[in-house]
Structure 1
Amino acid sequence: MTTKFKFLLLFLLVVQLTKAQDQDAVLLTVDGETIMTSEFLRVYNKNLDLVKDESQKDIDSYLKLFTEYQLKLKEAKRLKLDEDPKYQREFLSYKKQLTKNYLSENKVTEDLVKEAYERNSYDINASHVLVRLDESVKDTTNVYDKISSLRERVLNEGFDKVKADAHDGTTIFVEDLGYFSAFKMVYDFESAAYNTPVGEVSEPFRTQFGYHVVKVNDKRPSRGTITAAHIMVGLNQKDSLLVPEERINEIYKKLSQGESFDALAKQFSDDKSSAKNGGTLSPFKSGQLSSVKFEDDAFGLVNDGEFSEPFLTDYGWHIVKRISLKPIKSYDELKPTLEARVKRDSRSKLINQAMVEELKGRYDIGYNEEAKSYFESIITDEYFSRSWRLPDSFEKDEVIFSINQRDFTYNEFGRHIMAAQRTYANKARPASEVVEKEYESFFESSILKYREDNLEMENQEFANILKEYRDGLLLFDLMEKEIWNKAAKDSVGLENYYEKNKTKYQWQERVDFVMASSADEDIATKVFKLMKRGKSQEEIENALNNDKEQNVIFTKGVYNTNDNRLPSDFNAKKGVSGVYNHNEAFHVINVNEILPAGTKSLKEAKGMVINDYQNEIETNWVNSLYDRFSIEVNKDALNAVKQLINN
């Protein structure tokens, strides 16, 4: 039986067990609470590919982990951590974010995803004028007139002139935005930019920030995704001999002489995460990195294998090499990512409107046909001066509409319409218009809220994800309280643990050295001879380097003898070594001092000691949970699970 078929069989079984409780069996009982076989299989199957320790794929081993997880949940609830206001706020915040991903209407979502893909295929270069306006302000006449006037000035005088005269950085912003694509701006702004032809200025439009006009300067196809490598020399160096700008120029000389980018990155780049791979970075596209300068220099390279001149960013000095450049991915490849972003974006308002229509067809909805006329009859002119109150005879218990078995009352709509009167201050209009508008608003919010409140019952996937987060957040708080904080704050216990286990915390042998590196073995041999004669670094550099050629580079520091800067066959002894071949270059090492292996002090090993002490505390604590709570395993159900997994 193939692995694929076994997983398919497992999936089908889980589905069947979930749908038919009479075919499910209790696998585990923890302090009276039962956990079904289907739940265990769901979690096991979900986590199977994430588990790197093969022993955890064994059912008995995984059941032990699963049981301890349940014990910790029991302890968290015993301590009432789930009632803590901070926990509840964090959980509800996550639930609100997760819910947005499930409250959508597929057709509208698909249209927005296609639009996002089309826009993502182009970069827009734009400038804009913004007159700030609070989103709640309804009287916008003055602000609209101001933005219209500024638009006329841009058309007649030019953007730069208006920027110099009008920008104050507080209420009026006149800014160059550079290049951007989909999702970089709020949706209304993005739409205005993409719908404005190059060279033209849009009509005024409103976002949550105020009124804008946007001037589109350029529209170009997406620059795609680049794979690049870089050599970085950081601005803060522990090597006292190294001046960052001088070092990057030395490296650039060596590259220009034809030396290997890969080898120089491995030996000299301060970006350790990429240096071991010859400086290669993860692929990125325009706007993805935090440094525009780095992106522009990388995308500015014309051919694969071409490298830039040294340039400076906030992180240090760089030389970047283009490895490959790929155009934007196909729609099918990008669709899942774009869909997730659309649902998080302000585009979700459009999705919500479509969702309301879909829910109207799904739910059993009853309307009170007399409700609107009743509310029209009780609204008076006081409503428009914000002094209106519900009458004493208000029929608060009447039902305005129902969704499934949930009745929404006059009292709920009454509170809504009371709160809404602030938006109608000094704007008298027929009561029927107010009631119609606010009724639609109240109905939309009510049906979406009903869907949200019942989503956990209606959508099993949502319920599973929410449970995992609820439990995970609870366990984090529990571990922080019972384990992590105790280990970090228990200085006496920490010191006692260190004294009993100090042999675990050892320094490897280290060397304090100066190393000269060259791509030319003959040059390295000359360095060796000069070092042997006691020549200084400055004397050697003056003898072997010149304005046109960088033949040797020096490095100084204290490193473990197995550091990747040092040759694997390096023989740690005081004095000048022979010539080593390492990282496609030749090196001569002058060892000033050998620092022998030995026991680290508690201060030096504190991070590791705290981690190990935490593990000891946790082991003892988990054992106490086994004593506190009763555990029963259904052997028959467990054997059935084993038979299923192993077949």
Structure 2
Amino acid sequence: MMKFFSILLFLLFTISFQAQNKNEDVLFTVDNDPVYASEFIRVFNKNLDLVKDESQKDIDAYLKLFVDYKLKLKEAKSLGLDTLPKYIRELNNYKRQLAKSHLADNKVTEALVNEAYERTTNEVEASHILIRLDEDAKPADTLEVYNKLMKLRDRVVNEGFEKVQEDVHDGETTFAEDLGYFSGFKMVYEFENAAYNTPVGEISKPFKSSFGYHIVLVHNKRKDRGKRKVAHIMVGLEKEDAEDRIQDIYKKIQQGEDFKSLAKQFSEDKSTANNGGELQPFSGGELRSQEFEDAAFAIDKIGACTKPFKTSFGWHIVKLLDKIAVPTFEEAKHTLEAKVKKDSRSKLISTSRVNKLKERYTISNADAGLTYFVSILNDDYYKNQWETPKDFSADKIFLTIENKEITNADFANYLLKSRRRVSKNLSLNDIVENAYKDFLETSLLTYEEEKLEFENEDYAHILGEYRDGLLLFDLMERKIWRAASQDTIAVQEFYNANKKNYFYNERVEAVVASSAKKKDINKVAKLLKAGKTFEDIKKVMNTKNEVRVLFTSGTMEANHQALPENLPFKKGVSKICNHNDSFVVVKVVEVLPKSTMTYEEAKGRVDSDFQDEKEKKWLTSLAEKYVVSINKDVLKAVKNQLNQ
């Protein structure tokens, strides 16, 4: 619990806004570094609804955690963790992602979200022909591929897709494939556009994507099928009798026994068994098993079940609980917006944004600089061997955005990084012009992002959370979390000193028999008392056409799903109990008393406890290393404000 809450804190605590008024009340200092009351109040209020433990809502207790958090930050920075390349790289990646949500062109985004909703709620069945072609292919090569596809298009119209597919598909340069049904975001955006804009029964004109040139034949279009809510019973493949067991369970369902009860007793999907096998609702393409998805969507009537079927996870029986309609636009809007911003169509948003930035910012004319770079490039660039000449004017201003100066060296570095992506089909002049276009866009976006933290308070706080969270994660990993794996002797000694804390509760080796009918379980109880094995009893009670009893055996604690509550742990056959809407009887073969776990058995818990203890001692040392001074008058005012 302590480790979880520590992580929660450093992920949620926020830094003060960059433009914060330095005259604000200082709640405490860490080696003279001020921590403002406003920051503590904001963090306390933000986290208040996220914690369930009332003690964590106590202001003094929370202040102690907040001080510990600031001590860790101080230590991380003193160790220079905020200067490490890995930290800077991860932070910059996050900044770029976060900035997208604050700087996107809302009008373009809205149009794309509307389009995405229409496409995700309608599916297209299509086939396509693709001829691979480099994105920077020569115009003559592009024209040749285009004309070839136009001829193939005519053949598909006259001869049919299957005939053309047989003739041209080679799986290397030319692909002719049936794609089945798909919806929005399942294909690259250019392909998606062509498929949705082509009428049923028609074939598109050739179009380009990052893979090459395509034509797409649309066979059908249909509305999305919505979601399905199901429950399932699963038997793992590792059991030798897995198929027999699932068939026995299926027979009990056919006999009228309750699906939910059977799932609680026998399903080996531990994440759903206690809930009667219920899964979260899912739509097409969301599950890792296509067989499971197909079986679920094939059930027509709510309450109906599939026959047993096999997937890579095990044997299943699926029951349809509900059919969920396609969400409304308002319900889907937030999710679709996030997808749009991650998808290739986001290029449309960034292009619109760049065009507005070109109008917003004053940009110097770089024509002279471009001419200079064309003059210093040579054929070595195509070989990835080009370097700037010895007399290169590195510090000369190449470009100015507002008051930000960008030098020749900056653009040269961009050219050097771009060498591997350049086609030999481009002239040196085209290379420089294309690079400048991309470089200018990148520079404009970077400039706007650099200013954002000082202009947008919400962005600054969110970025601060991640900045400090990433820093503290690195610190905790170095100082605490790696300790268990690196210092095995210390962990073993910790276990030896605290061995009494690691134990098994009283357990039983038992066989549990379950049946929907009391008369059947009465018969089982008599047979168990007579010393019959459960294999013998199965032969008596179960037949090919009827399964009247199922058995579960093994070592079990009192909370095992198969055991009735408050079952006395003593050898012998128990009384008949009502459990999970069925009747059960338990034969206790042996009672295993409370016993100490071995080091290997307790290792997971030992590692966690060892880390907690190490963290406590470490925090004590940090409190001695860095002087913390709390302003009691400000703290009193903070408490008055928070308690109102």
Q: TM-score, normalised by structure 2?
A: 0.88
- Give yes or no for contact 1:576–1:589 (8 Å, CA) kept in 2: yes
Paired residues for 1:157-168 under 5 Å:
157-164=159-166, 166-168=168-170
In structure 2, the residue matched to 1:209 is 211
Identity between Structure 1 and Structure 2 (%) = 50
Corresponding letter in the other structure for 1:475: L
In structure 1, list runs of 5 or more residues that go unmatched: 1-13
1:268: Cα distance to partner? Answer: 0.7
Q: Which of 510, 515, 518 is the matching residue for 1:518?
A: 515
Deviation track 1:103-134 (CA, whole Å, cap 9, x = no partner) reads: 31110011001111111111223333333344
Q: Which of 176, 179, 204 is the matching residue for 2:178?
A: 176
1:39: Cα distance to partner? Answer: 2.0
Paired residues for 1:460-609 under 5 Å:
460-609=457-606
In structure 2, the residue matched to 1:343 is 341
In structure 2, the residue matched to 1:3 is none
- Give yes or no for contact 1:166–1:174 (8 Å, CA) kept in 2: yes
1:158: Cα distance to partner? Answer: 4.1
In structure 2, the residue matched to 1:236 is 238
Q: Distance in 2 between matches of 1:16 and 1:476?
A: 20
Secondary structure at the aligned position of 1:102 is classed as: helix
Q: Distance in 1 between matches of 2:372 and 2:533?
A: 98
- Give yes or no for contact 1:579–1:587 (8 Å, CA) kept in 2: yes
In structure 2, the residue matched to 1:85 is 85
Q: Distance in 2 between matches of 1:604 and 1:426?
A: 64
In structure 2, the residue matched to 1:197 is 199
Tell me the C-alpha RMSD between the 2 structures. 3.3
1:255: Cα distance to partner? Answer: 1.1
Q: Distance in 2 between matches of 1:52 and 1:219?
A: 49
Corresponding letter in the other structure for 2:191: F
Q: Distance in 2 between matches of 1:486 and 1:394?
A: 51
In structure 2, the residue matched to 1:121 is 121
In structure 2, the residue matched to 1:286 is 284
Q: Which has the higher contact order (CA 8 A, sep 6+)?
A: 2
Count of residues paired in the alignment: 625
1:561: Cα distance to partner? Answer: 2.7
In structure 1, the residue matched to 2:611 is 614
- Give yes or no for contact 2:291–2:311 (8 Å, CA) kept in 1: yes
Corresponding letter in the other structure for 1:445: T
Question: Against the structure 1 CA distance between its residues 629 and 380, is the aligned structure 2 distance closer, same or farther, given a 3 Å change threshold?
Answer: closer
Question: Against the structure 1 CA distance between its residues 384 and 214, is the aligned structure 2 distance closer, same or farther, given a 3 Å change threshold?
Answer: farther
Question: Against the structure 1 CA distance between its residues 65 and 154, is the aligned structure 2 distance closer, same or farther, given a 3 Å change threshold?
Answer: farther
Q: Distance in 2 between matches of 1:607 and 1:332?
A: 45
Corresponding letter in the other structure for 1:359: L
Corresponding letter in the other structure for 1:191: N
Question: Against the structure 1 CA distance between its residues 579 and 146, is the aligned structure 2 distance closer, same or farther, given a 3 Å change threshold?
Answer: farther
Deviation track 1:367-414 (CA, whole Å, cap 9, x = no partner) reads: 44xx53785699579879969999999987765653221134566567
1:620: Cα distance to partner? Answer: 0.5
Question: Against the structure 1 CA distance between its residues 68 and 308, is the aligned structure 2 distance closer, same or farther, given a 3 Å change threshold?
Answer: same
Paired residues for 1:294-373 under 5 Å:
294-363=292-361, 365-368=362-365, 371-372=366-367
1:161: Cα distance to partner? Answer: 4.6
Q: Distance in 1 between matches of 2:610 and 2:417?
A: 56
In structure 2, the residue matched to 1:7 is none
In structure 1, the residue matched to 2:405 is 407
Question: Against the structure 1 CA distance between its residues 425 and 497, is the aligned structure 2 distance closer, same or farther, given a 3 Å change threshold?
Answer: closer
Deviation track 1:495-538 (CA, whole Å, cap 9, x = no partner) reads: 22222211111111122222221111111111122222333434
Question: Against the structure 1 CA distance between its residues 498 and 635, is the aligned structure 2 distance closer, same or farther, given a 3 Å change threshold?
Answer: same
In structure 2, the residue matched to 1:8 is none
- Give yes or no for contact 2:552–2:562 (8 Å, CA) kept in 1: no
- Give yes or no for contact 1:578–1:588 (8 Å, CA) kept in 2: yes
Q: Distance in 2 between matches of 1:373 and 1:492?
A: 67
Secondary structure at the aligned position of 1:453 is classed as: helix
Corresponding letter in the other structure for 1:33: D
1:74: Cα distance to partner? Answer: 1.2
Q: Distance in 2 between matches of 1:123 and 1:19?
A: 50
In structure 1, the residue matched to 2:455 is 458
Range with greater deviation from structure 2 (589-598 or 392-401): 392-401
Q: Distance in 2 between matches of 1:306 and 1:87?
A: 53
Question: Against the structure 1 CA distance between its residues 424 and 302, is the aligned structure 2 distance closer, same or farther, given a 3 Å change threshold?
Answer: closer
In structure 2, list runs of 5 or more residues that go unmatched: 1-13
Residues 1:261 and 2:256 aligned together:
no
Q: TM-score, normalised by structure 1?
A: 0.88
Secondary structure at the aligned position of 1:530 is classed as: helix
